[in-house]
Chain A
Amino acid sequence: MSNPLRIFVPVKRVVDYAVKVRVNPAKTDVDRNVKHSMNPFDEIAVEEAVRIKEKAPKTEIVAISCGTTKAQETLRTALAMGADRAVHVEVKDDSTLQPLAVAKLLKAYADKEANKPDLFILGKQAIDDDANQTGQMLAGLLNWPQTTFASKVEINGQDLKVVREIDGGLETVQTKLPAIVTTDLRLNEPRYASLPNIMKAKKKPLVKLTPEDLGIDISPRIETLKVEEPPKRVGGRKVESVDELVDKLRNEAKVL
């Protein structure tokens, strides 16, 4: 690679995937007073960037997170995994921060940097809002190619080849950098940050910005009117034998 690559990796702090979320009593949101972690798809994005850097050591990885002060914990995790520096776009209340606003913040930051990114690697979706939009929106705003739901990424000079997970199988597309990649679960298995790397990450640079610094209006376009528990299933009935199961399916549930 002639020029060193610069990879931007947006990461989001979300309710940990193993937490069983509960709707708050006011029915406006879920209870957020629970364990948070880096969005699992974003861990895969960081891992992929680090693997690219391991092959091309001059690569620079910039982790970016938009959110409250606590987003810095997530950025430190990305730094401990191998990102070189971090950018925190601080907002007071990240529960109203929506994909279009995040895509605009990311574009504004990319435009502001003297050295432009060659590649954005994002998770395909955040496991809290399940929107699956930010990478595609960013690609649209930048007018860059997008290779979403990636299960394999190959970079060769300025050429990018991506195997994508589609309904029914896989698809291979090819494009040129600069480009957007969004990660699917099978792209890689993220590493754990070692204790020495966690210590080192504390000394890596972290720049703080606000949406105002970037000149972006982040007011939500979508209003959440209410949040409810999903209808409860009345499961839990056991049958004793295959015969009883077949009988119930035929005569009670009538699905056979």
Chain B
Amino acid sequence: MLASTTSRIALQARATLAQRFYATGAGANTLLYVEHKDGAIGGATLNALTAANKLGGSVTALVAGDAPESVAKEVGKLTGVSKVLFAKDAAYANALPENVAPLLAAAQSQFGFTHLFAGHTAIGKNIFPRAAALMDVAAVSDIVDIVGEDTFVRPIYAGNAIATVKSNDKIKVVTVRGTAFEAAAASGDAASEEAAPSADKPALTQWISEEIQKSDRPDLGTAKRVISGGRGMKNGENFSLLYDLADKIGAAVGASRAAVDAGFVDNSLQVGQTGKIVAPELYVAVGISGAIQHLAGMKDSKTIVAINKDADAPIFQVADYGLVEDLFKAVPELTEKISK
């Protein structure tokens, strides 16, 4: 009798302590959704981890897939990851949102996560709003800064305005713009692994196939240097001029929507509001006029170079260095002179 009273008091004390801990604001308990492909951590997951670490508190990484073992080990070594939740099931292959969103909701309900973070990638965008709806909370997309536990900064209107928003929901479901945060590195210590809770796997969709553009060049989203071509390239063959320059300086190749729509290059290379957002150290825009929607995807680059024969092209207003010249003359000359 006495023993049970004592333990009840101890439990109450612990509950009070936990509550106080949360109320002081140091209690962020974040779930990081880990995107991965072919055994490698992918997307903007490493950047989202840095953002999650800015909240303070603890970060638990969730690795779901048909064979997530090696990725889970790798994730456990990352700075700030205190625990890895592990969900191995064929239903989690290819990140189907109908199966992954209930898993996120089940994990939240079991562990009481206050924040869910993922990269604002095709996969993060697909899964997170669905998960938020299952938890009846709002989602905050594409954040570029963190002001506090509930306050985030995100671009709106294609980056032409920057909003500071406060989420009044108890759970914050957030996707993170990769280029706005450094990538987290490995710290060496392995975090503990634990099985994720079981959840509904309604298997509403079936994955059939994919066509991935193969390239030896760096990934467009994370490359330090990017060379992009627009309508001024005239055709797809001429992009070889950009590939030559890109290979010389280890850059990724991108494109404007005009170049994609004209069929010069694959649409996965599109930079802009509806394509990839990039923020490399060097962005070279070749034959690109600089429409609002394109600028939305690259105007946070450190140094912007524009090569265009139209001196009035809007791209020159954001370019640190503009060269008014025919690209068919300037680009080969640039490639040659850079190699010297």
Which residues of A come within 8 Å of B, CB atoms?
15, 17-18, 20-21, 23, 30, 98-100, 103, 124-125, 127-141, 143-149, 151, 161, 164-176, 184-186, 221-230, 233-239, 241-243, 245-246, 248-249, 253, 255-256
A-B contacts, 17 listed (Cβ < 8 Å): A17-B293, A20-B160, A127-B158, A136-B125, A146-B126, A146-B205, A166-B122, A171-B207, A185-B274, A224-B163, A233-B299, A233-B304, A235-B318, A237-B319, A238-B316, A238-B322, A255-B303
Say whether A235 contacts B320, CB under 8 Å.
yes
Contacting residues, chain B, for A233 (C-beta < 8 A): 299, 304, 317-318, 320
Given contacts A136-B130, A146-B97, A186-B267, contact A15 B157 (CB under 8 A): yes
B121 and A167: CB pair below 8 A?
Answer: yes
**Which chain A residues lie closer than 8 Å to B98 at the CB level?**
139, 145-146
Instruction: Kindly state the separation between the CA atoms of A184 and B267 in the bound complex, as whole angstroms.
Output: 11
- Interface residues, chain B, with chain A CB atoms under 8 Å away: 43, 94, 96-98, 101, 121-123, 125-134, 136-142, 151, 155-169, 202, 204-213, 221, 225, 249, 257, 260-261, 266-268, 273-274, 276, 281-282, 292-293, 299, 302-305, 311, 316-325, 330, 333-334, 337-338
Q: Is the CB of A171 within 8 A of B267?
A: no
Smallest CB gap from A230: residue in B: B162
Nearest A residue to B307, CB-CB: A245
State which of A133, A143, A149, A227 has its C-beta within 8 Å of the C-beta of B122: A149
Asked if B321 and A239 make an inter-chain contact with CB atoms under 8 angstroms apart, the answer reads yes
Given known contacts A98-B138, A141-B133, A242-B333, A169 and B164 CB-to-CB distance under 8 angstroms: no
What separation, in Å, do the CA atoms of A224 and B125 have in the docked complex?
A: 21
Determine if A165 and B122 form an interchain contact, defined as CB atoms under 8 angstroms apart.
yes
B158 touches A171 (CB 8 A): no
For the complex, give the distance between the alpha carbons of A225 and B148 in Å: 13
- By the criterion CB–CB under 8 Å, are A131 and B139 in contact? yes
Q: How far is the CA of A99 from the CA of B138 in the complex (A)?
A: 8
Known contacts A132-B141, A248-B321; decide if A172 and B133 are in contact (CB<8 Å).
Answer: no
Please, which residue of chain A has its CB at the minimum distance from the CB of B283?
Answer: A255
Q: Does B165 contact A237, Cβ atoms closer than 8 Å?
A: no
Contact of A127 among B168, B169, B273, B316 (CB under 8 A): B273
A222, B165: Cβ atoms closer than 8 Å: yes
The reply to whether B209 and A172 contact each other, CB–CB distance below 8 Å, is yes
By a CB distance below 8 angstroms, the chain B residues around A170 are 210-211, 268
Q: Which one of B132, B141, B303 lies within 8 Å of A100 (CB-CB)?
A: B132
Contacts of B282 in A (CB 8 A): 249, 253, 255-256
> Is A128 touching B138 in the complex (CB atoms < 8 A)?
no
Q: Which residues of B contact A141 (CB under 8 A)?
A: 133
User: Is A169 within 8 A of B157, CB to CB?
Assistant: no
Smallest beta-carbon distance A46→chain B, Å: 18
CA distance A215 to B168 in the complex (A): 21
State in angstroms the CA–CA spacing of A242 and B323 once bound together: 8
Contacts of B162 in A (CB 8 A): 227-230
Q: Is the CB of B338 within 8 A of A246?
A: yes
Task: Report chain A residues within 8 Å CB of B225.
Answer: 255
Residues of chain B lying within 8 A (CB to CB) of residue A174: 205-206, 208
Knowing A171-B209, A249-B282, say if A103 contacts B133 (CB, 8 Å). yes
Q: Give the nearest-CB partner of B330 in chain A.
A: A242
B123 nearest CB across to chain A (Å) = 7
Known pairs A131-B141, A236-B316; A253 contacts B303 (CB<8 A): yes
B337, A100: Cβ atoms closer than 8 Å: no
Q: Nearest 10 A-B pairs (CB), nearest first?
A: A140-B133, A145-B204, A133-B129, A136-B129, A221-B138, A137-B133, A140-B130, A169-B212, A172-B208, A255-B282
CB distance from A221 to the nearest CB of B (A): 4
User: With A and B bound together, what is the CA distance between A223 and B318 in angstroms?
Assistant: 31
A133 and B132 form a contact (CB under 8 A): yes
Q: How far is the CA of A243 from the CA of B134 in the complex (A)?
A: 58
Q: Which residue, A136, A224, A226, has most C-beta atoms of chain B within 10 A?
A: A136
User: How far does the alpha carbon of A235 sit from the alpha carbon of B166 in the complex, in Å?
Assistant: 33
